[in-house]
Structure 1
Amino acid sequence: MIEAVKIWNEPNNKSHWDPIIDPEWDLFAAMTRLAGTAIKEANPDITRVLGGMSPIDPHFVRRLADKGAMEHVDVVAVHGFPLDWNLWMIDEWPAKIDEIRRVTDKPIWVTECGVSSFGSEEVQAWGVKKTAELLIGRAPRIHWYSLYDLPRAWEATTRHKEAEGSSYYRHFSMGLLREDGSPKPALEAYRPYAADMGLCQWFHFQDHRLDDAVRLMDELGVRHLRTGLSWADSFRDGALDWFDRQMEALDRFDTTVTFCFTPEHRGIEPHHTSAPQVAEEFAEFCAEMVARYAPRRADARIAERRSLRYDR
């Protein structure tokens, strides 16, 4: 069900990793080493991806390399939103990838790129086409963020909420579809690129949009999907049932799954951006999810033979 796993999401972004707790990323590097090792032991064929950088920062890659973390990932991922949050022009996408290519010999994936329709749906549609032209052929994986707008009743994962002004509200308008599922002009702009530029869609716990999303992605011809399984959600009642349903529904896609979000009761501070009290616990979660949804081929064949025998 899984072709790759990402270790965390945007670890150099304050909205996803608390720099007060871990100002030099020593704890993050140690957690990455443990998680990367655990994932490889669970399935050596799975591609391990370093959580997408935002901002794109070659110094961050060097810092993690100095701490031994880069030896435990196979791919470096970057995120970019030049029309909304980044301080660079959309035409600089190739140059931003080259910045990272100069400091690592690992493949570089763009696991989030997007344009908000907050200011103009027409600008968003233009941004889809422009981003595709700039990135297709330059990165082995590209994931447009996202399929759906974030529902207004939910909360965006960011630092200062409404104090960020329009920067906060742009989070809610990144989809090709509006909150009610109606299409924006960006949907048709995206359609010709669906086979080469995948999607990133986070599904919340018991997300009511899952089945509709799968049907539409099938119809568009999407091949590559990025989503997430939340370590924090794993402590909810019925978590495995939801994870099973989500991953079974997404089985038809080449899926990259991000493992992230610290459970409040397991963080150094009670927050999802906190470094965990015990990094080995996050590594165990990664290994358990890989063993469940992407077992190594030999294990999968054994399970299949057992199933056939019992069916008889």
Structure 2
Amino acid sequence: MPAHLLRALARLSRIGAAAVAALCIVIAQLVAPAPASAAVAAPINTAPTALGIAESNLYFMTASELATAMQAFEQMGVKQIRIFLPWRAIEPNRGAYNWAIADRILDAAAAKGIGVVGAVTSTPIWASRNGFWLPNAAPDDPNTYAQFMVRLAERYGAGSAQPRIAAYEIWNEPNANIGWSPQPNVAGYTQLLKLAYTAIKAVEPTATVVGGVLGAGLSFGTWTINPVNYLTQMYAAGAQGYFDALSFHPYNFSSSFSAGAPYANTPYRQLMSLRALMNSAGDGAKKIWTTEYGVPTSAVNGATQAAWITDFATTWSALDGVGPMFIYSLVDRPNETPWGVFDRNWVAKPGVEAIRTWIAAHTPGGEVISKASG
């Protein structure tokens, strides 16, 4: 099974639990008012040397755990993060929103001057005929997702009273059946991307919308579609003009990123093919971001995890046409695959120092996305 499928499977139970919890939140929380004070969102540095952290578990942390996470980001020098914002939990009933947890995360990031990429996935039960059983079920009507993205941009985007999201990522790994259930559907995802992009831009014209969010791997029955084939079909379905950057997750448990350069169908070679495909389609100016890359310490030891993070950052940042990097993830969680650079007790693995050293050695510079104005 491809690496990104193993990681996604480990998260299924957690996402389902969040949905149940969200349904039990009182109505007063569902309609929490938007903050009134004005502020400027921290930007995202889109230079290929910019290294951040992708941490989906922030949404499921207690206030104390969140504070510890933010302190860890600060100590490593992390200035940008990619977070999971589950549509399933934030809008558990149509038109009724629970912003409390998202507010808490985004306020904490803003207080540290950390830029945020918001990745929005997971379907509410009401939005899909398969929603009860499949957390990432394809929405019956992709307009419902687009409408949610409007509410999200209105609350956290450049035109809001307190901008706190610098870029929006549309879904997560839809080229796998865990990411887009019950099976990948390129036309369905492309339609959702087009509607979400159009809806976000209508309320926030300067927004950066990241599409694709494709996991590395091979085509396997109705389970997965090779990311290069998937992007080819996205263009055929009319995706051009509906994303500002493409996201790719080049996971590989068996070797470092650079070691894949000579071999077909490795994440390295798939990245090269994605870049060539975008160039030939007229999207040469659009960057490929990696909003998730990592290796769990159940597959390698801590020293190897650190070495592969450094190898990835060094290799990725030297390539043409790429943008920022986000390492998955910050901290291990009980009974889950240990992706973190901290263990479940917040003891640092060697990866923490690898990230801190990389960030310290690479000054910000480069292009940035700023959310100071609409």
* TM-score normalised to structure 2 length: 0.54
**1:30 has 2:68 as partner:** yes
* Secondary structure of the corresponding residue to residue 70 of structure 2: helix
Contact 2:213 2:246 (C-alpha < 8 Å) held by counterparts = yes
Unaligned runs of 5+ residues in structure 1 are 14-18, 41-46, 154-168, 298-312
Aligned residue in 1 for 2:156: 100
* Secondary structure of the corresponding residue to residue 27 of structure 1: helix
Equivalent residues in 2 for 1:124-203, closer than 5 Å:
124-136=189-201, 138=204, 140-147=207-214, 150-151=217-218, 172-173=223-224, 178-179=225-226, 181-183=228-230, 185-189=233-237, 192-193=240-241, 196-203=243-250
User: Partners of 1:279 and 1:109 in 2: how far apart?
Assistant: 31
**1:286 has 2:339 as partner:** no
* Secondary structure of the corresponding residue to residue 56 of structure 2: coil
User: Partners of 1:200 and 1:191 in 2: how far apart?
Assistant: 14
Q: How many percent identity over aligned positions? A: 9
Aligned residue in 2 for 1:304: none
Aligned residue in 1 for 2:287: 223
User: Partners of 2:68 and 2:227 in 1: how far apart?
Assistant: 42
**Count of residue correspondences:** 256
Quickly say closer, same or farther: Cα 1:279–1:285, change in 2 above 3 A: farther
Q: Deviations over 1:152-205 (max 9, x none)?
A: 77xxxxxxxxxxxxxxx8xx55xxxx32843553233455227x5212211113
Aligned residue in 2 for 1:59: 100
Contact 1:6 1:51 (C-alpha < 8 Å) held by counterparts = no
CA positional deviation for 1:210: 1.7
Contact 1:121 1:185 (C-alpha < 8 Å) held by counterparts = yes
User: Partners of 1:241 and 1:61 in 2: how far apart?
Assistant: 31
* Secondary structure of the corresponding residue to residue 55 of structure 2: coil
Aligned residue type for 1:61: A
Aligned residue type for 2:269: D
Contact 2:82 2:291 (C-alpha < 8 Å) held by counterparts = no
Aligned residue in 2 for 1:247: 316
Aligned residue type for 1:257: F
Quickly say closer, same or farther: Cα 1:246–1:111, change in 2 above 3 A: farther
* Secondary structure of the corresponding residue to residue 145 of structure 1: strand
* TM-score normalised to structure 1 length: 0.62
User: Partners of 2:102 and 2:189 in 1: how far apart?
Assistant: 30
Q: Deviations over 1:72-95 (max 9, x none)?
A: 243233222457448881231212
User: Partners of 1:250 and 1:152 in 2: how far apart?
Assistant: 26
Aligned residue type for 1:75: G
User: Partners of 1:241 and 1:285 in 2: how far apart?
Assistant: 6
Equivalent residues in 2 for 1:79-98, closer than 5 Å:
79-81=119-121, 84-85=136-137, 89-92=144-147, 93-98=149-154
User: Partners of 1:202 and 1:142 in 2: how far apart?
Assistant: 17
User: Partners of 1:191 and 1:106 in 2: how far apart?
Assistant: 27
Contact 2:334 2:344 (C-alpha < 8 Å) held by counterparts = yes
Which residue, out of 283, 298, 304, partners 1:236? 304
CA positional deviation for 1:148: 5.1
Aligned residue in 1 for 2:338: 272
CA positional deviation for 1:110: 0.9
Quickly say closer, same or farther: Cα 1:25–1:50, change in 2 above 3 A: farther
* Secondary structure of the corresponding residue to residue 289 of structure 2: strand
User: Partners of 2:73 and 2:311 in 1: how far apart?
Assistant: 23
CA positional deviation for 1:260: 0.9
**1:78 has 2:146 as partner:** no
What is the RMSD computed on CA atoms of the aligned residues?
A: 4.0
Contact 2:146 2:199 (C-alpha < 8 Å) held by counterparts = yes
Quickly say closer, same or farther: Cα 1:109–1:252, change in 2 above 3 A: same
The answer to which of 78-87 and 246-255 deviates more is 78-87
**1:113 has 2:180 as partner:** no
CA positional deviation for 1:251: 4.8
Aligned residue type for 1:254: G
